[in-house]
Amino acid sequence: MDNHKEEEAIAELSRAIAFKADLHLLHLRAAFHEHKEDVLGALRDCRAALSVDPNHQEMLELHSRVNRHEP
């Protein structure tokens, strides 16, 4: 992943999420944020997704991993 493509992917996911908040899209955007080391962006998406499904295992794992790096 190069940074320019990541920014494009995040922007596209943001447009889709604005249209309809979707757990899969939030997870994907959180993963892009994590890859870019944008801890706050990743945590925001994790928390939004977990508010929809608090038992979503992949989001719980991602949240736990990212939360260790919270400033």
Q: Going from the first residue of the chain to its last (71 residues), give the mean pLDDT of each consecutive group of 10, the final group possibly shorter.
A: 79 92 92 94 95 94 90 63
Query: What pLDDT score was predicted for residue 3?
Result: 63
Third-level CATH fold of 3-67: 1.25.40
Query: Where are the chain's structural domains?
Result: 3-67
Query: What pLDDT score was predicted for residue 27?
Result: 94
Query: What pLDDT score was predicted for residue 2?
Result: 57
SS3 label, residue 53: coil
Query: What pLDDT score was predicted for residue 69?
Result: 82
Question: Residue 49 is which amino acid?
Answer: A
Question: Residue 40 is which amino acid?
Answer: L
- Give the global pTM: 0.84
